[in-house]
Amino acid sequence: AQKVTQAQTEISVVEKEDVTLDCVYETRDTTYYLFWYKQPPSGELVFLIRRNSFDEQNEISGRYSWNFQKSTSSFNFTITASQVVDSAVYFCALSEARNTDKLIFGTGTRLQVFP
């Protein structure tokens, strides 16, 4: 069965702290895709990254970095030197090659960054 687990419901940090959001996934497919989306208070989900199952290279984009580990079925997201504007709900999602229409989302992690 496919499933995405984001065990952290809420995280609070103070500006400039680093924070890691955890994501663990389950799938029986060998080909799949992992995503992170950000949902600010305005409501729309903003696409952050897509990673396919054959590419385990970690990725860095500015203050954002992602650590994909197939051995532990995890796709964690780290924000370095957090800022107040990073406050949002972050969703990890999975889609399988046999049905890439369907994004399977986790329940999200609410991040609050305080000044």
Note the residues at the interface with another protein (CB under 8 A): 4, 33, 35, 37, 42-47, 50, 52, 91, 95, 99-108
Q: Report how far residue 115's alpha carbon sits from residue 41's, in angstroms, rounded to the nearest whole number.
A: 17
Which of 6, 82 has the CB closer to another protein?
A: 6
Strands 74-79 and 109-114: unpaired
Which of 1, 115 has the CB closer to another protein?
A: 1
Q: How far is the CB of 79 from another protein (least distance, A)?
A: 20
Q: How far is the CB of 114 from another protein (least distance, A)?
A: 23
Strands 64-69 and 59-61: antiparallel
Q: How far is the CB of 82 from another protein (least distance, A)?
A: 23
- Main-chain phi, psi angles of 25, to 5 degrees: -125, 160
